[in-house]
């Protein structure tokens, strides 16, 4: 039995997605309505006058199709741990850098965080096969996946063997306020993690500049996630 797709879009893109899901999960892919996933690795950060790699831990929460959250902590050598979070609850974008959450009203910043979180969701492949997604073929071995409820699109590029090579979005870089290409590039190797098959390593870039490099460490499919998580109240 082939993988069932509910997404809208052209036949070429749907065929490519079906093949990619089969390459990742086989013929019985998981149904993911919500997800909690953790990462560890390293990130580029400015410590004093120098930019260098520092240890990082991160966690993502999703309740498809609208609610998303990203938490991170970095640990530069000899410097106190820096923590932060950003979340979208379906209507508002919030950030947390200590103290109380701030609601961000700037539309470009809201769109930027939604697109970056949508790119993380696209790594799983099955969320972009749902009814709220439209697929559009682009160049050979690639297509765009648009979340029709948010009008955010991500570009997926596949290897000749139909495994996912990278995902890309154009959005605002919060560190320099410039519009850039944000990409997540996946290692060839993948490994099972609590019922999910995931890439062993994910490398993020702004254009061609390294941003962070992480490996998935834990995952839970379809947990109950309180609304307060996506408003940064929990």
Among residues 134, 170, 100, 118, the alpha carbon closest in space to that of 5 is found at 134
Strands 67-74 and 50-63, by their bridges, are antiparallel
Output the pLDDT for position 203: 97
Contact 38, 22 (CB under 8 A): no
Span 96-102, average pLDDT: 86
Q: Is the pLDDT of residue 76 over 80?
A: no
The β-bridge relationship of strands 34-47 and 133-137 is: unpaired
Residue 63 burial (C-beta neighbours within 10 Å; 0-12, 13-18, 19+): buried
The domain limits of the chain are: 8-231
> Does 51 sit behind a cis peptide bond, omega within 30 degrees of 0 on the bond before it?
no
Mean pLDDT to the nearest integer, 196-213: 95
pLDDT at 78 over 80: no
- Using one digit for the tens of pLDDT, what is the confidence trace for 34-72? 999 999 999 987 777 778 899 999 999 999 878 999 999
Whole-number pLDDT of residue 184: 97
207, pLDDT greater than 80:
yes
Given a cut of 60, is residue 1 above it in pLDDT?
A: no
For residues 98 and 83, the model is more confident at 83
Summarised one tens digit per residue, pLDDT across range 149-191 is: 889 999 999 999 999 999 999 999 988 889 999 999 999 999 9
CATH number of the domain located at residue range(s) 8-231 in this protein:
2.50.20
Q: Tell me which residue has tokens 């490996």.
A: 215
Q: List the structure tokens of 106.
A: 């700037």
pLDDT of residue 113: 83
């Amino acid at each position: 039995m082939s993988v069932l797709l509910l997404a809208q879009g052209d036949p070429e893109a749907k065929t490519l997605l079906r093949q990619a899901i089969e390459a990742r999960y086989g013929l019985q892919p998981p149904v993911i309505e919500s997800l909690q996933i953790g990462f560890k690795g390293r990130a580029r950060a400015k410590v004093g006058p120098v930019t260098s790699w520092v240890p990082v831990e991160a966690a993502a929460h999703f309740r498809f199709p609208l609610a998303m959250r990203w938490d991170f902590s970095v640990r530069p050598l000899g410097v106190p741990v820096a923590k932060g979070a950003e979340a979208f609850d379906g209507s508002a974008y919030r950030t947390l850098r200590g103290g109380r959450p701030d609601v961000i009203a700037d539309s470009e910043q809201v769109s930027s965080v939604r697109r970056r979180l949508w790119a993380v969701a696209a790594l799983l492949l099955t969320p972009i096969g749902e009814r709220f997604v439209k697929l559009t073929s682009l160049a050979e071995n690639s297509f765009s996946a648009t979340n029709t409820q948010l009008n955010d699109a991500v570009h997926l590029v596949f290897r000749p063997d139909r495994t996912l090579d990278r995902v890309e979005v154009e959005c605002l870089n919060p560190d320099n306020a410039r519009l850039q290409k944000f990409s997540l590039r996946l290692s060839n190797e993948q490994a099972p993690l609590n019922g999910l098959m995931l890439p062993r390593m994910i490398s993020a870039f702004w254009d061609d500049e390294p941003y962070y490099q992480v490996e998935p460490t834990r995952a839970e499919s379809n947990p109950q996630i309180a609304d307060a998580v996506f408003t940064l109240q929990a």
